[in-house]
Amino acid sequence: MIIFKGKKAKNNSTSNKDWKEKNKKYLDQLQKFFDAVDKIEDIDLRKSIITQVLKCDMILTELAQKEIEKYKKYV
C-alpha cells in the first residue's frame, strides 16, 4: 500500500508492483498529482479524479507486468 499525505492507494492486485512502487520518478509524479488534486474544493470531483487515475494506473501496471512476463520467457 502506498500512502501520500494521508491518502491510501490500496494494492488491489495480487501481482508484484515493487518495480513501480520503488521508482522515485513515478512516486514523485504521483505525489505531484495528489498535491494538485488536493486543491480541488469539490470533494466528489476530487474523489472521482483520484479514483479514475488509480484505475488507469492499475490497468497500465497490469499491462506492463504482462509484457515483463512475456520478456522473461524469452530471456
pLDDT tens for the chain, residues 1 to 75: 444 455 555 544 445 678 888 999 999 999 999 999 999 999 999 999 999 999 999 999 999 999 988 888 887
Domain map (residue ranges) of the chain: 17-74
CA diameter of the chain: 50
Instruction: Tell me if 4 sits within 8 A of 30, measured CB to CB.
Output: yes
Whole-number pLDDT of residue 8: 52
Instruction: Tell me if 11 sits within 8 A of 1, measured CB to CB.
Output: yes
| Alpha carbon distances (Å) from 15 to 31, 62, 64 | 22, 8, 11
Q: pTM for the whole thing? A: 0.69
Q: Which three cell numbers stand for residue 41?
A: 474544493
